[in-house]
Amino acid sequence: MTMYESDPNPSNPYDDPNHDQPASPGKGRRVAFILALIAVLVAGASMAFVGLRSSDDDAAIPPSPGVVMSHSANPATPTDALMTPNTLSLDPVGVQAPIVDATVPEGVLTPPENVKNVGIWLDGASLDSATGTTLIAGHVNLTGQGNGALFDLGTIEPGEVIRTSDATGKSTSWKVTAVTTRPKADGVEESVLAGPEGPRKLAVVTCGGELQFADGVGNYADNVYLYADLML
């Protein structure tokens, strides 16, 4: 998935005429964010959590095959030693990606332009938090850059272990509980927006599914969600 700009269109949930009429400031901010996120996901052509637009010169590359849902035997837990600070380590697929801030211009969550990086939602749980859901998103690929850090996200299986590190380099291990796909037309899976409260969880999102073209713009039909629980 790429994240350059949102792609407004008449069928986009973000175009709902009531999206800018919140009942209260706090609730309104969350509703606007969710709708904006849906807008990006619906438009997404090469990114994970916020879909992107691509032009004839910037078409997306087909992502990895379908999501794997089978369970595997519990692997050995990687040693929780120091890692490079602010890193997502997808050990099952041999990928390490720098974690940077995902910007939210005009309420639209935007992952880093560099597809080798992933972005963290700053309103979610921080990497060193003891509670809440940390949300990380990134592009699946982009013409001119190739495959993104999350290109093989859908091939990771429940039971496998991935890791993150905070700003000090302290490593946290996570056991994958599910890897699913969701049509962008169905909107965002709200559990990834749980924020800093509640059980400690990790959610990683990217684009996937069929690559569809309309008027020279390529859009992936689905989003891929990986969910993981903290390993104690």
pLDDT digit string, tens, across residues 119-144: 999 999 999 999 999 999 999 998 88
**Helix runs in the chain, H state only:** 25-43
- 129 versus 13: which is more confidently predicted? 129
Does pTM top 0.85 for this prediction?
Answer: no
- Any idea which of 36-45, 139-148, 166-175, 213-222 has the lowest mean pLDDT? 36-45
- 224 versus 187: which is more confidently predicted? 224
Average pLDDT over residues 204-215: 90
pLDDT reported for residue 44: 38
148: how many CB neighbours lie within 10 A of its CB? 31
- In tens, the pLDDT along 21-71 reads 333 344 444 444 443 444 344 333 333 334 332 323 333 444 444 333 333
Q: What percent of the chain has a predicted confidence (pLDDT) above 90? A: 52
At residue 188 the predicted structure's pLDDT band, cuts being 50, 70 and 90, is: confident
Residue 161 in this model has a pLDDT that exceeds 60: yes
At residue 81 the predicted structure's pLDDT band, cuts being 50, 70 and 90, is: low
Given the structure tokens 């706090």, which residue do they identify? 26
Residue 163 in this model has a pLDDT that exceeds 80: yes
**Short-list 67, 28, 36, CA closest to 180:** 67
Q: Please state, rounded to an integer, the average pLDDT across all residues of the chain.
A: 75
Given the structure tokens 């390529």, which residue do they identify? 218
Longest CA–CA span in the chain (Å) reads 51
Burial 176-195 (b: 16+ CB within 10 A, else e): beebeebebeebbeeebbbb
Average pLDDT over residues 145-171: 97
- Where do the domains of the chain lie, and which CATH numbers do they carry? 13-230 (2.40.260.10)
Contact 212, 221 (CB under 8 A): yes
Distance CA 190, CA 7 (A): 21
pLDDT reported for residue 131: 98
Residues 6+ apart with CB under 8 A from 130: 200
**Short-list 95, 142, 137, CA closest to 112:** 137
pLDDT reported for residue 80: 55
Contact 12, 42 (CB under 8 A): yes
